[in-house]
Structure 1
Amino acid sequence: MADGRLNPADKLTEDLLVEILSRVPYKSLCRFKCVSKRWRGIISHPDHRKALPQYHLHDLAGFLYSSDVDKAGWFGRPVSAHNFTGVSVGTRPPVRPSLPFLPDCEQFHLLDSCNGLLLCRRFQAFGSEAFDYVVCNPATEKWVALPGFFTKMQTARLGFDPAVSSHFHVFRFVEDGYVKGVEIYSSKTGAWSHNECRSWIFPTSIVHESKSVFFNGLLHLLAVESVVVAVDVEGTTWKVIPTPRPGPGVDVGFIDLSQGRLYLARCDPHREYKLSIWVLEDYDSEEDYNEEDYGDERFGSQVWVLKHSVRCLNLFGVKDVQVRDQYHIVALHPQQNTIFLVYEHDKVLMSYEMDSGKVQFITDLGPDSVEPYLPYVTLYSKELADWN
């Protein structure tokens, strides 16, 4: 202090200070970095990331999505407008969804969101076949362009966990009928690596509109073979998680992470279009599966537990709503038993609370809104690598 007196907070041990700071909101934690060099060093130290709040995981701010506008750009390519809608009435957008801070960006496509970061496919000009990938933080308006230009559209997803590391990874799957490998960009190395597909039991095709789930250091997606497939950030671990085998006509489903566990949702048209929600209880099971097991009705049924089911009649007031055609799930709440859906017939965002059975209209998305509808949490941290 200026008068030479000791600041009482300086008497706190590092362990005690971390324990206290772990209980404050993230925004306050950011301000506390200005208290002293010691506090800033403690808050910023990698060893304390798991103990201290890194972002508001429980605060789902809303959804980012695009809309096709009537006019067309160069070479007839339609122009997209980008939007944000909050999950609460009257929510002010915490970010500028048009991402105006991205330079030299005539048009971009939203591809994925993960813990506050966005992955975009950026075209330099309308009608151009060449594009690159950009990862950005809309809250801080920091961004990084990944090296290389591409012309072939492949499934690309983002992996990022600020509680574990300040670095992110982008997964670009190499597909020719089925997955042959994956190219992984690491913000730590600043380069792409190519890895051949290993140990996915049988030739596998990714559901291209599948939501990705990044946890336990692996990126998870749904495959058309009705299994969950995963690969780690090094491209060395390839995991298959069997799911309860769907009946004829049952949709492959939807996966998401909620309350620290992997969830699966499916709609069964043969049971009054019942929507079933499953939770994976024993993720770390070491049981081995092979291609022959997949024909067995018991394949994977022991690892998933049915958490909830509801008829579409209770959701929409009609019996024959099909998940592929007229509605789809866009997210599970990170910390609550709540599902968010887009009802395609009216293009509205809705929520369904599993505990109470309450259905709530959130907002009209507009008739021109298109997938993907990306759940977004606000990440204020600027301590990420390689940002512009």
Structure 2
Amino acid sequence: MADDSKDISRLLNPADKLTEDLLIEILSRVPYKSLCRFKCVSKRWRGIISHPDHRKALPQHHLHDLAGFLYSSRSPDYLLIRNFTHVSTGGRPPIAIDPSLAFLPDCDRFHLLDSCNGLLLCSRFETADSQAFDYVVCNPATEKWVALPLPGFFSKIQTARLGFDPAVSSHFHVFQFLKDGDGHVKGVEIYSSKTGVWSHKDSGWGFPARLTSLSAFGNGFLYFVAIWSAVVAVDVEGTAWRVIPMPCNPFGPEIDLAVGFTDPSQGRLYLANIDHHDGHRLLISVLEDYGSEVWVLKHSISPFDLLGEKYVHRGIRFHIVAHHPRRNMIFFVYGHDKELVSYEMDSGKVQFIGVLGNGSVGPYLPYVPLYLEELADWN
């Protein structure tokens, strides 16, 4: 009877006759989203697809193109409301995302802090006057989330960032930078989803660094621009601290700066800044050689050429908000109504995406949908 049941099962599911090598060969040719669904076929299929040894053979295209930006705006009664604006992806239909993150408990009490390769880092304060809060990392595409344990030290004034690269590891890291009374970084606490604990490291930059708001993660390092002086970086272990001198053009406190990677597989670090002392000129440099730490100026463009005559007004500035995670493109907001604009470096194309509104506030977080389930102990 048992043999008859097996024969019937094989008739109903001919794929059970396939050898593991042949099945991997077939599965390697399907889209990643289909691969995720195929885990439900059987325990055998799920085990094969989820096995770490098959990661390189099976599709890893879990990341889509940039879908848009998450940001907040103030309501008439001064409450913060989360919003999402779509970015055109070559005629493809927009990917739906609920900016309220309704799948999170007490979702209206969360604040957006950072995004990285499809994951979001949020904070939730217990009360308006309380110092105690939870960090939460979530994936809007799968509506999975995990609450982090409290770090050893926490304060509303600290800077927290997220580091995650699904092509390298299924684990993420959260960086919380500790500052002194003057805003200088004195150390960092790093959470690893692999170990589930925070580790503390004293600053290894060798000078009192003050961080700007924009950051970038790539090659296992989190990069920031330190005001006045350099691009600084720390790795996910907190053991390697880098200081990369700025390009020779003089920067000041009124310079908008952004760092970013156009292609994480290449690991090319780009630096964009708007020089308000030189007619609001946009300058974009690339770090061609990490060893020599020499920046090469790739683009220099005036606001007239960038925005056109009717968009250039005396006293109205535009501010860089993000670097495209996959393309040679930067995004900035401009003017009183904070219009979101993209600039394609290779073609010189400028695209006006939409009006975010005078009440919109940063951070403006680029969102790339990620269809990957095996990340951490998701809820």
* Residues 1:214 and 1:195: Cα distance change in structure 2 (over 3 Å): same
| Corresponding residue number in structure 2 for 1:221 | 224
Aligned mates of 1:194, 1:13 — CA distance in 2: 44
- Cα-to-partner distance string for 1:355-380 (whole Å, 9 max, x where unaligned): 33222211121221111110001112
Shift of 1:320: 6.4
Q: Aligned AA for 1:167?
A: H
* Long gaps (5+) in structure 2: 1-6
Spell out the pairing of 1:1-388 with structure 2 (5 A cutoff): 2=8, 4=10, 7=14, 11=18, 14=21, 21-50=27-56, 52-57=58-63, 59-71=65-77, 78-88=78-88, 92-148=94-150, 150-176=154-180, 177=182, 178-198=184-204, 200-207=205-212, 209-210=213-214, 212-247=215-250, 249=252, 251=255, 253-260=257-264, 261-283=268-290, 285=291, 300=293, 303-318=294-309, 326-388=317-379
RMSD over aligned Cα atoms: 2.8
1:330 shift after superposition: 2.3
Map Cα deviations across residues 305-355 of structure 1 (whole Å, 9 max, x no partner): 2222221112222596799x7222222323333222211423211222223
Higher alpha-carbon deviation: 155-164 or 238-247: 238-247
Moved more, 214-223 or 23-32: 23-32
What SS does the aligned partner of 1:253 have?
strand
Q: Distance in 2 between matches of 1:306 and 1:131?
A: 42
Task: Give the residue type in structure 2 aligned to 1:268.
Answer: D
Using a 3 Å threshold, how does the CA distance of structure 1 residues 244 and 259 change in structure 2: closer, same or farther? same
Mapped contact 2:256–2:319 kept (Cα < 8 A): no
Q: Could you tell me whether the CA contact under 8 Å between 1:252 and 1:266 is conserved in 2?
A: yes
- The number of aligned residues is 361
Q: Distance in 2 between matches of 1:20 and 1:263?
A: 39
Q: In structure 2, how many angstroms separate the alpha carbons of the residues matched to 1:306 and 1:22? A: 41
**Matched-pair contact (CA < 8 Å) for 1:312–1:321:** no
Q: Which runs of 5+ in 1 are unaligned?
A: 72-77, 288-299
CA distance in 2, matches of 1:24, 1:85: 30
Contact in 1 for aligned 2:331/2:340 (Cα 8 Å): yes
Identical-residue share of aligned pairs (%): 63
| 1:38-70 deviations in Å (ceiling 9; x for gaps) | 443332222443554445545101110001111
Q: Partner of 2:228: helix, strand, or coil?
A: coil
Change (3 A) 1:276 1:143: same
Q: Is the 8 A contact 1:174 1:181 kept in 2?
A: yes
Letter in 2 for 1:201: G
* 8 Å CA contact 1:85, 1:93 repeated in 2: no
8 A contact 2:190–2:238 mirrored in 1: yes
Q: Aligned partners of 2:355, 2:190: CA distance in 1, in Å?
A: 37
Deviation at 1:86, TM superposition (A): 0.9
In 1, the alpha carbon distance for the partners of 2:236 and 2:375 equals 17
Q: TM-score, normalization: structure 1?
A: 0.83
Provide the rounded CA distance (Å) in 2 between the counterparts of 1:47 and 1:202. 43
- Contact (CA 8 Å) 2:258, 2:323: kept in 1 or not? no
Runs of 4+ in 1 over 6 A off after TM superposition: 319-323
